[in-house]
Amino acid sequence: MTNTIAWIHADNLNPNQPALEAGHPAIFVWDDELLKQWDISFKRITFIYECLLEMDVTIRRGDVAIEVGKFAAEHNAKHIITPYSPSPRHKWIMRQLKVLIPDSKLEIYMDEPFVDYDGHIDLKRFSRYWRKVEKYAMQATSK
Amino acid sequence: MTETMRRDFKNRAEMIDYLKEQFSEAYATDPRVSDEFIGGRVEAEKRLQQVKTGSAYKRSRNYLDGAVSKLSPYIRYGVLTLAEVRDFALEQSGNGASKFINELGWRDYWQRLYAEMGDDIWEDQEHYKTGIPKHQYADDLPEDIENGETGVKLIDDIVHELKTTGYLHNRQRMYFAAYVVHWRNIKWQAGARFFLTHLLDGDPASNNLSWQWVASTFSHKPYIFNLSNVRKFTGKQYEAPAHETGMEIFEGSYDDINADLFNEKVR
């Protein structure tokens, strides 16, 4: 039997998010390389840390894929769930994880959508996007 | 053995003391924390309840003292979802929230584009429509801008506010970006990096694409402003004669400023 862990990142620091619902052990890793690359200010670090303190997560620092891999091993987990992120770095770390733990299963959890529509949306300009999605965006989330 | 970071703090000051040690480099560069924005869901929910989403928002959002939500740091980190903020707005204002929800749409739009573009978000999406060749734009942000010592009061105030609070009104972001790219001829990427460092809501999607919109590499024409526009939206802070505040560079009509800043052939 394999266990599940949640890998939390800064694109979703909501303590009520779907990836934390089942109460699996969860980890957040300060991405050393990204901190340096973006030259993130102390203000931003503090704000993120305050968000983390309201979440049931283990906080570590270093190379994200390696730390998530270690955490998975500590919990004997091959199933890793993580909230969605559009960032290319998130995709890159997921690929790294797949290399580090070849028999792992990675799964992305989505928040409830702002626009509940799966068809093609033209993103060339905002006006085109909005023409298409306005009627969906103006609808409350169905409970 | 991997070290797990601390979570047990008696208060904010104790947490900040710990973070000072852990993130000593960032602390040494600028030790300030935002007293205006406290991270976390508890604070986010409190703020959401106070947001105005109807006609007051629509009428006043362009003004510095307008009824803007200031939820962006919470939305950026997903502490609040766009859907729940929208649901709140609909409940509070019904169809009267359409402008507010349209603005939430910008965030969704930028995120979708980011998912498609990946690291290309750092590249010009189109050419500059300023008539100025790309190589004439500088790569780096000069120190006088970074330190808020340009002598142009509007710009120096913006830098000070950004570094103190980690937040700027959208109009201040537009003014600053236009100044950097069009008055100083600096590549938008340099300004975008500066914002990413300091803005609590800094995120490459909204940030870089908005800079590109101002620069004209993701729009039909460059965004500029003039002194009347500043005076209209910022209240009384910039009523002193422009030459006393270094703001004479913003004087004149849009046509005059366009003629001063850009290559006439392309206008």
| ipTM given for this complex | 0.96
Chain B hits for A43, CB-CB cut-off 8 Å, are 30, 32-34, 166, 198, 200
The reported pLDDT for the residue numbered B152 is 98
- Pick from A15, A70, A115: which is nearest to B41 by CB? A15
The reported pLDDT for the residue numbered B267 is 44
Q: Can you list the alpha helix ranges (DSSP code H) found in B6-97?
A: 12-22, 24-29, 41-50, 55-60, 72-76, 82-93
Reported pTM: 0.95
Residue of A nearest to B77 (CA): A11
pLDDT single digits (tens) B71-114: 999 999 999 999 999 999 999 999 999 999 999 999 999 999 99
B153 exposed, middle or buried (CB, 10 Å; 0-12, 13-18, 19+)? middle
The reported pLDDT for the residue numbered A1 is 62
Chain A hits for B39, CB-CB cut-off 8 Å, are 13, 46-51
Confidence of residue B49 (pLDDT cuts 50, 70, 90): very high
Calpha distance B217→B220 (Å, rounded): 8
> Tokens 């991405």 map to which residue?
A31
Chain B hits for A91, CB-CB cut-off 8 Å, are 118
Calpha distance A43→B158 (Å, rounded): 16
Q: Which two tokens stand for residue A11?
A: 């694109």
**Mean pLDDT, chain B, as a whole number?**
94
B106–A114 C-beta distance less than 8 A: no
Question: Kind and range of the H or E element at B98?
Answer: helix B98-117
Calpha distance A140→B91 (Å, rounded): 9
The reported pLDDT for the residue numbered B62 is 87
B109–A129 C-beta distance less than 8 A: yes
Residue B1 pLDDT exceeds 70: no
Calpha distance B244→B263 (Å, rounded): 29
Query: What is the pLDDT averaged over residues A47-52?
Result: 98
Total number of residues shown for chain B: 267
Calpha distance B168→B183 (Å, rounded): 20
Q: How many other CB atoms are found less than 10 A from the CB of residue A40?
A: 21
Q: How many other CB atoms are found less than 10 A from the CB of residue A119?
A: 6
B5–A41 C-beta distance less than 8 A: no
- Pick from A11, A52, A133: which is nearest to B78 by CB? A11
Rg (CA), chain A: 17
Percent of residues, chain B, with pLDDT higher than 70: 98
B104–A51 C-beta distance less than 8 A: no
- From residue A113, alpha-carbon distances to A50, B2, B116, B149, B204 in Å are 26, 36, 17, 43, 20
If DSSP codes are grouped into helix, strand and coil, which group holds residue A108? Answer: strand
Could you tell me which residues are beta bridge partners of residue A62?
A31
Lowest mean pLDDT among A10-19, B65-74, B78-87, B156-165: B65-74
Residue B238 pLDDT exceeds 80: yes
Distance from CA of A1 to the nearest CA of B (A): 25
Calpha distance B19→A134 (Å, rounded): 43
Query: What is the pLDDT averaged over residues B197-207?
Result: 96
Q: Which two tokens stand for residue A39?
A: 């030259």
Query: What is the pLDDT averaged over residues A120-142?
Result: 94
Q: Which two tokens stand for residue B172?
A: 């201040």
Greater pLDDT, B65 or B172: B172
Chain B interface disruption, residue of A11, A45, A47, A141, most B CBs within 10 A: A47
Please, are residues B217 and B127 in contact by the beta-carbon 8 Å criterion?
Answer: yes
Query: What is the pLDDT averaged over residues A46-57?
Result: 98
Chain A interface disruption, residue of B8, B15, B23, most A CBs within 10 A: B23
Chain A hits for B105, CB-CB cut-off 8 Å, are 114, 126, 129-130, 133-134, 137
Please, are residues A32 and A61 in contact by the beta-carbon 8 Å criterion?
Answer: yes
Residue of B nearest to A129 (CA): B109
Question: Kind and range of the H or E element at A82?
Answer: strand A77-83
Q: Which two tokens stand for residue B210?
A: 């908005």
Strand arrangement, sheet containing A58-62: A58-62, A26-31, A3-8, A77-83, A105-109
Query: What is the pLDDT averaged over residues B23-48?
Result: 96
Chain B hits for A34, CB-CB cut-off 8 Å, are none
> Tokens 């009523």 map to which residue?
B239
